[in-house]
A and B are shown apart, each in its own frame.
Chain A
Amino acid sequence: MHQQQPFDSSLEKPQFPGASAEFVDNLEFIQPNVISGIPVYRVMDRQGKIINPSEDPQLSKETVLNFYQKMTLLNTMDRILYESQRQGRISFYMTNYGEEGTHIGSAAALESNDIVFGQYREAGVLMYRGFPLDLFMAQCYANADDLGKGRQMPVHYGSKDLNFVTISSPLATQIPQAVGAAYALKRENMNRAVICYFGEGAASEGDAHAGFNFSATLECPMIFFCRNNGYAISTPTNEQYRGDGIAARGPGYGMLSIRVDGNDVFAVYNATKEARRRAVAENQPFLIEAMTYRIGHHSTSDDSSAYRSVDEVNYWDKQDHPISRLRHYMTARSWWSEDDERSWRKQSRKTVMEAFERAERRLKPNPELLFTDVYQEMIPSLSKQRESLFRHIQQYKEHYPLDLYEK
């Protein structure tokens, strides 16, 4: 970490306040190392076999089963909601295919009162923390049960109880915000940390630069968790950056950094666990770059076959998937059988479908909720707008879908 050295003119050393370094008498530019980049930390191989026993987190059967069930439940919910969007039943959706391991592994390594700031592809973190299926559905349907009162697009979840800050669409804005929250937690001194998720595309935003730099100079207990899945919509990473990914930027900000196999839930768990422990103990930020692959389309408004091959997608879906890898691990220990798989699939599908149907039947919120929470209090001009809307609706009610909304 850069500490400004005390000025001492007697030393034959550079005295520049901006860096601590020796002189060198030959001209040499520093070469970025992009061919042989920061290595990818891995705990188990693609067959679910632990590579180095000393790195095995040795989680209990119960914990591992919970990991697996949360990942697969998320996967089932994704499939059903994706289909429902295709049928026009919800307006928009974004799946988490291939990134389930990054969510569950990292969420499991946190304390429940740690604050989470996310981008939008981290529904598994909420799933791990116990966000009910009904509330996922309520948000996507913008029905009267939605904690967000139906105001945002689908998948913009939030939960005060679970310390998961409401998602917003503008990319990377959450990054410096997470730093501010971590600073506030540090001052509270209650042994809490903040985790902030973002994609490798969002890392190109100015706000990412702001957040990394602030977190280091202001010594904030937080974890930056980058999901590097190879694409920002259609843009491949070689059009996103030319350095060694995102992890290589961390040291430039004076941040401890690591790259992990994002399809290895144990590698993600270990890295997050240790980063969290040290972030809180030492009040400094950590950067984790989880390498993974976005198996699904960017969103329901995107057809990814327009810019990448089906073979590429199939490789990650069939041969290196976080769910199948964990299943291999469980099978090898006889913790999970074909029968278990069949009955769990059936049960999880049924649970999701039931929540789905309940959400679809539910009315939408009272239109009055369009006007509240703009400010904490109802301001006179908004109150007038509300009254004029109600007068208008009274007069022209046949032109509005009022039967779909609560009264």
Chain B
Amino acid sequence: MAAAAARLLIRGSHQTLPISSVGTGKQSCIGNALLTLSSGCNSRLKTQRRHAAHFTFQPDPVPTQYGSTQKMNLFQSITSALDNTLASDPTAVIFGEDVAFGGVFRCTVGLRDKYGKDRVFNTPLCEQGIVGFGIGAAVAGATAIAEIQFADYIFPAFDQIVNEAAKYRYRSGNLFDCGNLTIRAPWGCVGHGSLYHSQSPEAFFAHCPGIKIVIPRGPTQAKGLLLSCIADNNPCIFFEPKILYRAAVEQVPVDAYTIPLSQAEVLQEGSDVTLVAWGTQIHVLREVANMAQEKLGVSCEVIDLRTILPWDNETVCKVSGHHSIVSIIVGHFIIGI
């Protein structure tokens, strides 16, 4: 995929700048002038508003049941999960575009030095190859953790995912499977990613029996759910909300632990309305729930779906059974039930 040029933009900003200060003054100035036709383009306030996050990250409570914890942001919690995996599973390999030097989002920093270049390595720039290669390694018994650099560039691998990975076990009568394959990809909007560094493609995959799709809302969730994906005996796609890579910080257990797949989590009890979301959007809905309570006196139930496929309809239906409205927010779509 011709992602190289566009990738630089995102890579530069994420490696060196905090989310809130992305973009140069000059660009902001031009952008503002075009948009407002005003001379106030140097206004610090306007620039700040333009780059204000659309959510406020709410950390999970510090987990106590898995031993000692450490302050990690989301990318560090991913590294931690990968580190645990490489340490405990000698067949596990990590590969993709630019993962060797640590990845364009720093998720694989230090792993190559620690575990060797035959276990953490760059592939040629070819997404269909990456997923096909990962399927094959899994078929031969290795734990294959593939990275697609942006979820936006997963589409060249759509055929390998939908026609191959998802159907491997079924079509062979369980003679062969690629259950040891996990595909990770940065996901969701980032403020300035435009068309090909912002996409939330989970619904495309939600129509494909045979794979699992998982999206965490923060570092603790990310590590536990990723370790579950890696351990799961089905091919999994794990989407990482890239806007949270640095912005979300919380205490995360250092050792390996898992959070079950296909289980939604009720984050807030409520009696009038059920709000369902996943990824970054959870933090938006938590805020909405507070607003609804304060301004309308409406009590909201907030559910993080966590696994898109196979999804936990039992929790959602049970919780929402006595409510009149359920909103299901799929990234930027609203399906509605």
Which residue in chain A gives the minimum CB-CB distance to B118? Answer: A187
From B134, B135, B175, contact of A159 by CB (8 A): B175
Q: Is the CB of B132 within 8 A of A373?
A: no
Given contacts A207-B128, A214-B133, contact A168 B171 (CB under 8 A): yes
Identify B310's interface contact among A149, A173, A176, A380, CB under 8 A: A380
Name which residue of chain B comes closest to A159, CB basis.
B175
Q: Which A residues from 384 to 403 make CB contacts under 8 A with B?
A: none
8 Å CB contact of B132 from A211, A376, A379: A211
**Contacting residues, chain A, for B233 (C-beta < 8 A):** 376-377
CA distance A179 to B144 in the complex (A): 13
The interface bits of chain A over 173-194 (1 if a CB of B lies within 8 angstroms of the residue's CB, else 0) are 1011111111111011000001
Judge whether B126 and A177 touch: CB under 8 Å. Answer: no
B contact residues around A185 at 8 Å (CB): 140
**Contact of B313 with A218 in the complex, beta carbons under 8 Å:** no
Give the interface segment out of B160-168, B193-201, B251-259, B282-290. Answer: B160-168
Across the interface, name the chain A residue whose C-beta is closest to B133.
A180
What interface size band does chain B fall in? 35 or more
Please state if A184 and B132 are interface contacts (CB–CB under 8 Å): no
Contact present for A168 and B126 (CB under 8 Å): no
Q: Does A151 contact B (CB under 8 A)?
A: yes
CA distance A158 to B129 in the complex (A): 23
> Does B28 reach chain A (CB closer than 8 Å)?
no
Q: Cβ of B91 and Cβ of A187 under 8 Å apart?
A: yes
> Which residues in chain A, 70-101, are within 8 Å of chain B measured between CB atoms?
none
Given A173-B164, A214-B124, A376-B177, A181 contacting B172 (CB threshold 8 A): no
- Beta-carbon nearest neighbor of B135 in chain A: A177
Which residues from chain A contact B210 at a C-beta distance below 8 Å? 374-375
Whole-angstrom distance from the CB of B283 to the nearest CB of chain A? 28
* Chain B CB within 8 A of A313 CB: no
Residue of A nearest to B136 (CB): A180
Q: What count of chain A residues pass the 8 Å CB interface test? A: 50
Contact at A177–B133, with CB atoms within 8 Å? Answer: yes
With an 8 A cutoff between CB atoms, is A209 at the interface? Answer: yes
Given known pairs A178-B136, A379-B310, the reply for A151 and B126 (CB within 8 Å) is no
A210 and B174 alpha carbons, distance in the complex (Å): 27
Minimal Cβ-Cβ distance residue in A for B232? A376
A284 at the interface (CB under 8 A from B): no
Asked whether any CB of chain B lies closer than 8 Å to the CB of A217, the reply is: yes
Instruction: Determine if B47 is an interface residue (Cβ-Cβ < 8 Å).
Output: no
Q: Is A53 an interface residue, CB under 8 A from the partner?
A: no
Picked from B118, B126, B138, B234, the residue with its CB within 8 Å of the CB of A180 is B138
**Minimum Cβ distance to chain A for residue B110 (Å):** 21
Across-interface contacts of A217 in B (CB, < 8 A): 123-124
A170 pairs with B173, CB closer than 8 A:
no
- Contact for A376 among B133, B139, B169, CB less than 8 A: B169
Which single residue of chain B is at the shortest CB-CB distance from A213?
Answer: B124
Q: Cα distance A188–B263 when bound, in Å?
A: 36
For chain B, residues 83 to 141, give those with C-beta under 8 angstroms from any C-beta of chain A: 91, 93, 118, 121, 123-124, 126, 128-129, 131-141
* B275-334 interface (Cβ within 8 A of A): 310, 313-314
Q: Is A180 a contact of B139 with CB atoms below 8 Å?
A: yes
**Chain B residue at minimum C-beta to C-beta distance from A196:** B136
B218 within 8 A of partner (CB): no
B171 touches which one: A117, A148, A188, A211 (CB < 8 A)?
A148
Name the contact of A209 in the complex, choosing from B121, B126, B142, B262 (C-beta under 8 A). Answer: B126
**Chain B: minimal CB distance from A46 (Å):** 38
User: Do the beta carbons of A146 and B173 come within 8 Å of each other?
Assistant: yes
Query: What are the residues of chain B within 8 A of A210 when measuring CB–CB?
Result: 124, 126, 128-129, 132-133
Q: What is the distance, in angstroms, from B230's C-beta to the closest C-beta of chain A?
A: 14
User: B231-242 vs A: 1/0 string, CB under 8 Å?
Assistant: 001100000000
Question: A187 with B132: in contact, given A151-B173, A373-B174 (CB under 8 Å)?
Answer: no
A127 interface residue per 8 A CB criterion: no
Chain B residue contacts of A209, Cβ below 8 A: 126, 129
Q: Is the CB of B132 within 8 A of A173?
A: yes
Chain A residues, CB < 8 A from B140: 115, 180-182, 184-185, 188, 194
Q: Is A109 among interface residues, defined by CB-CB distance under 8 A? A: no
Least distance between A85 CB and chain B CB atoms (Å): 21
In the bound complex, what is the Cα–Cα distance between A185 and B136 (angstroms)?
A: 10
- Chain B nearest CB, measured from A153 CB (Å): 10
Alpha-carbon distance A170/B5, docked complex (angstroms): 32
The answer on a CB contact under 8 Å between A160 and B175 is: yes
Distance to closest chain A CB from B124 (angstroms):
5
The verdict on B159 contacting chain A, using a C-beta distance below 8 Å, is: yes
Q: Does B55 contact A (CB under 8 A)?
A: no
A50 CB-CB contact with B under 8 Å: no
Query: Does chain A have a CB within 8 A of B176?
Result: yes
Q: A145-165: which residues lie under 8 A (CB-CB) from chain B? A: 146-149, 151-152, 156, 158-160, 165
Once bound together, how far apart are the Cα atoms of A175 and B126, in whole Å? 14
- Give chain B's interface residues, CB within 8 Å of chain A: 91, 93, 118, 121, 123-124, 126, 128-129, 131-142, 144, 156, 159-160, 163-164, 167-177, 179, 209-210, 212, 233-234, 262, 310, 313-314
27 contacts between A and B (CB under 8 A): A147-B173, A165-B139, A165-B176, A166-B168, A173-B160, A176-B131, A176-B132, A177-B139, A180-B135, A183-B93, A183-B137, A184-B140, A188-B141, A194-B140, A206-B128, A207-B159, A209-B129, A210-B126, A210-B132, A218-B121, A373-B173, A374-B209, A375-B310, A376-B234, A379-B262, A380-B313, A380-B314
- For the complex with contacts A175-B132, A177-B136, A379-B262, 8 further pairs of A-B residues with Cβ separation under 8 Å are A159-B175, A170-B164, A176-B136, A177-B133, A184-B137, A184-B141, A209-B129, A376-B233
